[in-house]
Structure 1
Amino acid sequence: MDELFSKVPVKTAYFKLALPVVMGMITTMIYNLADTMFVAKTGRPDLVAGVTIGAPLFTFLLAVADIFGLGGSSVVSRLLGEQRHGLAKRVSSFCLYGSIITGIVLTGLLLLLEHPILHLLGAKPATYEQAAAFYRVLSFGAVFIIFSIVPQNLIRTEGLASQAMIATVAGTVLAIILDPIFLFVLRWGTAGVALANVIGYFFCDLLLIWMVTKKAHYVTLNVHQARIHKREIGEVIAIGIPGSITNFALTFGMALLNSSLAAYGASMVAAMGITQKIYGVVILVIVGFAFGAQPLIGFNYGAKQWQRLHEILRFDFLVEVTYAVIVGGLLIIFSRPVAALFMNQPVIVHAASYMLIATLVTTPLVGLILVYTTVFQSMGNARGAFIMSVSRQGIIYWVALEALKHSFGYNGIVWAQAASDVLTCVLGYWLYRVSLDWKDKLPRR
Structure 2
Amino acid sequence: MATNNRLGHEKISKLLFALAIPSIIAQLVNILYNIVDRIYIGQMTDGTSAMAALSVALPILTFITAFTQLVGIGGAPLCAIKLGEQRKDKAEEIMTNSFVLLIVVGILLTIVVLIWQEPLLLLFGANEETLSQAISYISIYALGTIFVQITLGMNAYINTQGFAKTGMCTVVIGAIFNIVLDPIFIFWLDMGVAGAALATIISQGVSAVWVLIFLFGKKSTIKIRKQYLKPNWHICLSIMALGISPFVQTATESLLQISFNNQLLIYGGTMAVATMAILMSLWQFITLPLQGLCQGAQPIMSYNYGAKNYTRVRNTFKLVMKVCLGFAFIASGTVMLFSEFFVSIFSNDAQTIVFSSWALRVFLIGSGMFGAQIACQQSFMALGQAKVSVWMAITRKIILLIPLIYIFPYLLGGSSLATSIAGPIASMVHDGSRVFAVLFAEPVSDILAAIITTFMFIRFYKKELKQPDQIIED
TM-score range, shorter chain: over 0.9
In the superposition, the TM-score normalised over structure 1's length comes to 0.96
Q: Which residue in 1 is equivalent to 2:253? A: 250
Does structure 1 residue 399 correspond to structure 2 residue 403?
yes
Q: Which residue in 2 is equivalent to 1:273? A: 277
DSSP 3-state at the match of 1:265: helix
Of 445, 453, 456, the residue aligned with 1:428 is 453
Percent identical pairs in the alignment equals 24
Q: Which residue in 2 is equivalent to 1:106? A: 109
**Take 2:375 and 2:72, find their aligned partners in 1: how far apart are those partners?**
17
Of 304, 319, 325, the residue aligned with 2:323 is 319
How many residue pairs get matched? 444
Of 160, 169, 172, the residue aligned with 2:172 is 169
What's the offset of the Cα at 1:258?
0.7
For the 8 Å contact 1:155–1:219, the answer to whether it is kept is no
Q: Which residue in 2 is equivalent to 1:123? A: 126
DSSP 3-state at the match of 1:343: coil
**Take 1:217 and 1:34, find their aligned partners in 2: how far apart are those partners?**
31
What's the offset of the Cα at 1:214?
1.9
CA RMSD in angstroms, aligned pairs only: 1.7
Does structure 1 residue 362 correspond to structure 2 residue 366?
yes
Does structure 1 residue 63 correspond to structure 2 residue 86?
no
Q: Which residue in 1 is equivalent to 2:348? A: 344
Does structure 1 residue 183 correspond to structure 2 residue 208?
no
Deviations 1:10-30 (A, max 9, x none): 011111111111111111212
**Take 2:328 and 2:398, find their aligned partners in 1: how far apart are those partners?**
22
What's the offset of the Cα at 1:159?
0.7
**Take 2:71 and 2:112, find their aligned partners in 1: how far apart are those partners?**
19
**Take 2:19 and 2:309, find their aligned partners in 1: how far apart are those partners?**
18
Taking a change above 3 Å as real, the CA distance of residues 40 and 87 of structure 1, as seen in their structure-2 partners, is: same
Per mean C-alpha deviation after superposition, the further-off stretch among 209-218 and 286-295 is 209-218
What's the offset of the Cα at 1:32?
3.4
**Take 1:287 and 1:51, find their aligned partners in 2: how far apart are those partners?**
24
Does structure 1 residue 211 correspond to structure 2 residue 214?
yes
DSSP 3-state at the match of 1:437: helix
Runs of at least 5 residues in structure 2 that lack an aligned partner in the other structure:
414-433, 470-474
Taking a change above 3 Å as real, the CA distance of residues 266 and 79 of structure 1, as seen in their structure-2 partners, is: same
**Take 1:109 and 1:212, find their aligned partners in 2: how far apart are those partners?**
29
Of 369, 385, 388, the residue aligned with 1:384 is 388
Taking a change above 3 Å as real, the CA distance of residues 218 and 231 of structure 1, as seen in their structure-2 partners, is: farther
Does structure 1 residue 21 correspond to structure 2 residue 46?
no
For the 8 Å contact 1:152–1:208, the answer to whether it is kept is yes
Taking a change above 3 Å as real, the CA distance of residues 216 and 358 of structure 1, as seen in their structure-2 partners, is: farther
For the 8 Å contact 1:89–1:218, the answer to whether it is kept is no
Deviations 1:221-243 (A, max 9, x none): 22322346443222211111121
Q: Which residue in 2 is equivalent to 1:43? A: 45
DSSP 3-state at the match of 2:162: coil
AA partner of residue 415 (structure 1): F
Q: Which residue in 2 is equivalent to 1:299? A: 303
Per mean C-alpha deviation after superposition, the further-off stretch among 218-227 and 149-158 is 218-227
**Take 1:337 and 1:71, find their aligned partners in 2: how far apart are those partners?**
37
The 5-angstrom pairing of residues 83-102 of structure 1 reads 83-102=86-105
What's the offset of the Cα at 1:70?
2.1
AA partner of residue 118 (structure 1): L
What's the offset of the Cα at 1:68?
2.2
For the 8 Å contact 1:242–1:389, the answer to whether it is kept is yes
DSSP 3-state at the match of 2:158: helix
Runs of at least 5 residues in structure 1 that lack an aligned partner in the other structure:
none
For the 8 Å contact 2:310–2:468, the answer to whether it is kept is no
What's the offset of the Cα at 1:442?
5.0
**Take 1:175 and 1:393, find their aligned partners in 2: how far apart are those partners?**
31
Does structure 1 residue 155 correspond to structure 2 residue 177?
no
**Take 1:359 and 1:215, find their aligned partners in 2: how far apart are those partners?**
47
**Take 2:231 and 2:15, find their aligned partners in 1: how far apart are those partners?**
31
What's the offset of the Cα at 1:338?
2.2
For the 8 Å contact 1:93–1:219, the answer to whether it is kept is no
Deviations 1:323-371 (A, max 9, x none): 1122211111111232123223332112211221123222222121111
In the superposition, the TM-score normalised over structure 2's length comes to 0.90
Of 379, 396, 416, the residue aligned with 2:441 is 416
